[in-house]
Structure 1
């Protein structure tokens, strides 16, 4: 199938077919990075703004590198050195960027739902690069792409995610993607960081590490999200 969405805001709203379309397209573009000349004109003439309100290394650099390899013009927006720091609203800042003819706005923000908020009134395409503890769809797509490259298929795999699930946007996006593609997902960590409410997403929750690892085909280990915890969450 073809991709018909204007924005990439989350994994939850995507179908398995849409996720697979992205993965298949990514496989074709992976070859570009392995050539001597790592550039194609797919986004020539387009302007992409990396609107990162939270710190980032891997995600921001990955978007910048990808944009350049697709021949887009890329602008890295530094929130701390802008009017945003002086109190300008998220909406007004985004509209200013769009008024400068930005075609795609890649946003990372500490508030869950910030990309969805921008998508309501911007004509530019919005890509979610992480919003609070909600979702990180592009990271999940990369994780699923890597698993598929190594294992050949996602359906039927037993995937264990360990660590801070409660505050991890990556965990949520990975859970949605893995479940939609037919994987069995087990979550494990301290009970304060892996509440049983995640069972409503179709996951198995256990607090026994040996049990969680026993039948795992893939292990996804997450760091503790200190920046989003307001108190210690270790029992």
Structure 2
């Protein structure tokens, strides 16, 4: 099986993956005894997704190969298909791929025989990030139905926002978005940040993705922080049990104030920790699939 988008999974499947992730967190052991090899092919920079997949594979007793784009044949014009086909040919059992092309996997489906797991495609989907976000929320509240979340920032360029908006709605959450109007996604329930803030159970902040903006960003970083950044004044207006999330990396003092990153309502580093367990569940699923 392949994992490209959570749209391919039922809500029952989603909860089953989260159940197994929680079992891994509680100490469940699976050991492939070095007989499985997972190749990590990241064509965009990544710290959290790349190395938590690497750690997840290690925890499952797998060996890994970590692809270095700067010293590879893509510098000579090799295609994505030919690169992936190489790792299949040398005996890898699964490949994790992040690629800047949206829906890159359409070039691979039906041509590659080993499982493909998306580590993010362009601005489209980021299934493992959504799952770790869901795991963190479910641990905190025990359910999804009726929870209010506002996703704040660069919605149109965010694969995290696109993945989360759809799956969270399917799970019964009330999903709102906010941020600069130039980065609004049509149909994504846009609201004023300061108006929704006191009502939300989850405040999810997004990184300002300067590398994708191509001069579309009209605000300075100081202006962004004043209008959409989470600072102590805004935290004071949150519900007592509301939590703060961010897929990271974060721009300190832009979308989130430095002293809020690890405040008592922040779950940012818990998200990162949960990422390993979610990715263990995903790799175990594809490697055990006959």
| Whole-angstrom CA distance in 1 between matches of 2:154 and 2:115 | 31
| Whole-angstrom CA distance in 2 between matches of 1:225 and 1:15 | 31
- Is 1:225 the counterpart of 2:209? The answer is yes
Match for 1:61 among 27, 30, 51? 51
- Is 1:82 the counterpart of 2:72? The answer is yes
Between 1:106-115 and 1:7-16, the stretch displaced more is 7-16
Instruction: Quote the offset at 1:144 in angstroms.
Output: 0.5
Query: Residue deviations 1:129-160, cap 9 Å, x none?
Result: 01100011100100010010111111110011
Name stretches of at least 5 consecutive residues in structure 2 with no aligned partner.
Answer: 220-290
Instruction: Quote the offset at 1:44 in angstroms.
Output: 4.5
Query: Residue deviations 1:12-68, cap 9 Å, x none?
Result: 2321111111111111111239xxxxx631574111000111111111110000000
Query: Residue deviations 1:79-98, cap 9 Å, x none?
Result: 11111121111111111110
Query: Residue deviations 1:162-220, cap 9 Å, x none?
Result: 0110100011111122111110001011111113332xxxxx211x2221213100110
Choose between structure 1 and 2: higher strand proportion: 1
Cα 1:91–1:175 change in 2 (3 A) is: same
Indicate the residue corresponding to 1:17 in structure 2: 12
| Whole-angstrom CA distance in 2 between matches of 1:159 and 1:172 | 14
Q: Which has the higher contact order (CA 8 A, sep 6+)?
A: 2
Name stretches of at least 5 consecutive residues in structure 1 with no aligned partner.
Answer: 1-5, 34-38, 199-203
Cα 1:181–1:31 change in 2 (3 A) is: same
Map of 1:165-204 to 2, 5 A cutoff?
A: 165-198=155-188, 204=189
Match for 2:21 among 20, 23, 26? 26
Map of 1:1-235 to 2, 5 A cutoff?
A: 6-32=1-27, 40-42=30-32, 44-198=34-188, 204-206=189-191, 208-234=192-218
| Whole-angstrom CA distance in 2 between matches of 1:9 and 1:88 | 22
| Whole-angstrom CA distance in 2 between matches of 1:142 and 1:190 | 26
State the SS of the aligned residue for 2:102. Answer: coil
State the SS of the aligned residue for 2:92. Answer: coil
Task: Give runs of ≥4 in structure 1 deviating > 4 Å.
Answer: none
**Aligned CA-pair RMSD:** 1.6
